[in-house]
Structure 1
Amino acid sequence: MLKKKEKDEKEKQQEEKDYIQWLKGKRKGLEDKQVENELKPLHDYWNNPGLDEKEEFLKDYILNKRYLERDSQGNIEDSDLSEDEKLLEAQENFEHNYNFRFESEDNKTIKRYPRKIEGSMRRKNDARKRKR
């Protein structure tokens, strides 16, 4: 008889913004007191004025979603990948393609070839025989 109200996308986005603002220290409290009580130590630690430089970077990285930053072409930057990692990634792609080569779209039908292909066998030169 009673149903739990489902949140729409707008409400979820607003709740996420409120949550991030609370963690940054720009908001007093959250609507969900259970989440607020669970994350109170993190909130207090990140809003400590004597926060270490590395911890400040981590806070910025997580709250501002720096891990999702993309370059001008829309690709996630991999400039920090070494040549070995790039080579390893290329090898993994090749291995994946090789292992699943029979599962590609082309291989859903059985390929058939005719028994006699005109250009595959040497023809007998019957021209002299036919002239007689």
Structure 2
Amino acid sequence: KSIKEITYHKKWSSEWLIRLGDGTDVSHAKMQAAINELWSFTGEMFEMGKVDKDALALGIGPDLSILKKEWDVIVSEIISRATLTKPSNNWMQTGGKSGNHSEYMGFLLSDLQYMQRAYPNLEW
């Protein structure tokens, strides 16, 4: 089921990135600004935390460096088709997997926990 879900989201997020990136001057500028703003958070997806290392050692988790290489190829192609540019800044946010978060994490958690707190035992 997760493969189907991932395929769906990859397809439609790619389509919208291409449509908006290669659309009007305004949509192109907004998409480029969004990529520039959020790019530094992409590196942490492939950072090997303790859980990732343990899962890899047990043979039940992937080597995230291999996934990163595949992800880079796919994302680079989509960004190119969208007539956008990958940011040249190589600095990446780090530390989230080891529990280092900014003050914004509290606000995010509050938003994410709203439904469960407002409606205890809520089920989808």
If the length of structure 2 is used for normalisation, what is the TM-score? 0.26
Considering fraction of residues, name the structure with more helix.
2
Which has the greater radius of gyration?
1
If the length of structure 1 is used for normalisation, what is the TM-score? 0.25
Of the two structures, which has the highest relative contact order with CA contacts closer than 8 Å and spacing of 6 or more?
2
